[in-house]
Amino acid sequence: MLVGANLLRRLLRSQLSADDGGTGFIITAIYHLRPHCSTTTEFSDEGNSEKKKESKWFTLPPFAKTVNASELGAKLARKNHLKSATSAETSAYETTALKWVLKCCLELPRNLVQKLFRLRQVRRESIAMEVTDDGCQVQKIQLKRVGAKDSLNIGDKIFLPISVCEVPEEKHEHDCTDEESNFIRSLELYKDTAIIVLNKPPGMPVQGGIGIKWSLDELAAAWLRYDYSESPRLVHRLDRDCSGILVMGRTQMSAAILHSVFREETLGASKHDSDNEKRVLQKRYWALVIGSPRRPKGTISAPLRKVVVDDGKSDRITVFEHNNTILSSQHAITEYRVIKTSTHGFTWLELSPLTGRKHQVRVHCAEVLGTPIVGDYKYGWQAHRRLQNLAESDLRKNSNEKVAKENMLPFGLNMDSGSISEKHLRLHLHCREMILPNVSQVLRNPKSFTDDDLSKLKSLEIVAPLPSYMQKSWDILNS
């Protein structure tokens, strides 16, 4: 089936309710969401041959007022205090040609849309006055090239090559059983009109890739859409072996706003922010580590960089020592506090990453605190070698490492094995709590919220229970 027909059906079903953004800000009328094909017989395509004038175009709806997700996200993160009210109000209704095409054509791959702009195949309608042979002035519609970053005015129409209708529909193979689809829905911790929050199981990758059969983003798109025309979108990521809170936006708008909040909070993080301002986005991880930090609580500010190892076959993240040559993008800040210590040489930590670097929490624990996370063989393999003397200890006397079939979950997952009572340890890192802005409340009527209202907006507090094997380790160390 061609994208054209499928896209048209999708767009016709895309009438959003007022709860998803409010009339006047999110396009709700079916008319505004109905692209159509038209010939250019009444148009003049600048600088093109007669043959190109006869070509067909895929026409998008006229640009209408819409919320600027980046601007609203910055407001929610309270990072726009340097902007004037006038500039903020103006920018709230600006968008680029690229963003408008992506918003109207949810079925088109982003890389295809970007390629069309690079090849200068996207047009914008323009009206010019011409004088006829009898001296009369008439309006003539012209199609002029438009760049991806060009701003649009209210009423502007964008034209794409008709060839976009000939792109084969991307096939998604999700032949899940009822048990598997029910399992995906059982991961839900919270759902409203803007977001879905999942308790990600350990061992399930967040995104697809080479050698990955199942990923949460694809499964959520297949089974967590419900009655929405759009699929849930990732807002942030978790490592494959990490478990806990994963936030997904239910619409392009809500995902873009939360992307902006995450970006503003993590890129702008500094010790001053953490000490003197209440952060609207807070992430708290629980981790079981080997050993104990010298101080019961503190802030780690250690930049990270990626290094290539094994002759380029793999890479790892490590602390970067040369402070005089650090780039700002390499900064990584993590707050920590001790929850509970154990006589067996383990410690439970609460970790709050203020920045969002790859493997940040794992590297800070292993290389800065000197307490690698249990089950993290990548950054703590030496410490795990020393744990082998626990093989005959009281922790493992009654261990039964055989995984019972009745404990197996769909997609080959098992959350019961891997505790400290067993020889093969699993990563004991869990995103347990997250505080984030209530985006759904804002999107009900964005225009009615002033900056002062946004600062008083109530936050959502999400808590995810520990996976079974981490709960088992907790019980063992507290028995």
DSSP state string for 40-103: STTEEETT--HHHHT-EEEEPPPP-----HHHHHHHHTT--TTS-HHHHHHHTT--BHHHHHHH
CA distance 358 to 121: 37
Domain 178-263 identical in fold to domain 279-391+410-477: yes
The single residue of 239, 310, 315, 453 carrying the catalytic annotation is 239
Is 239 part of the annotated catalytic residue set?
yes
CATH fold for the domain made of 279-391+410-477: Pseudouridine synthase (3.30.2350)
CA distance 392 to 171: 52
Domain-wise residue ranges, the chain: 95-168, 178-263, 279-391+410-477
Q: Which residues pair with 245 in a beta bridge?
A: 199
Closest alpha carbon to 165 in 38, 30, 29, 53 = 38
Q: Residue 270 has what pLDDT?
A: 54
Q: Which residues pair with 465 in a beta bridge?
A: none
Q: Residue 93 has what pLDDT?
A: 54
| 3-class SS string, 90-153 | HHCCCCEHHHHHHHHCCCCCHHHHHHHHHCCCCEEEEEEEEECCCCCEEEEEEEEECCCCCECC
Q: Residue 293 has what pLDDT?
A: 96
Angle at 433 between CA 430 and CA 435, to 5 degrees: 145
Closest alpha carbon to 350 in 246, 202, 466, 201 = 466
Helix (H/G/I), strand (E/B), else coil: 474: helix
- Specify the amino acid at residue 172: H
Q: Residue 229 has what pLDDT?
A: 81
Per the listing, tokens 């998604």 go with: 172
Residues in the chain: 479
Helix (H/G/I), strand (E/B), else coil: 296: coil
Residue 164 · residue 108 · CB < 8 Å: yes
Q: Residue 466 has what pLDDT?
A: 97
CATH for 178-263 is: 3.30.2350.10
Q: Taking the chain (479 residues) in consecutive chunks of 10 residues, what is each chunk's mean pLDDT?
A: 46 40 34 40 49 66 76 72 42 73 79 88 80 73 88 88 69 70 95 96 89 89 89 93 96 88 77 58 96 96 87 83 55 95 94 93 96 96 78 55 64 91 94 94 76 75 97 93
DSSP state of 409: B
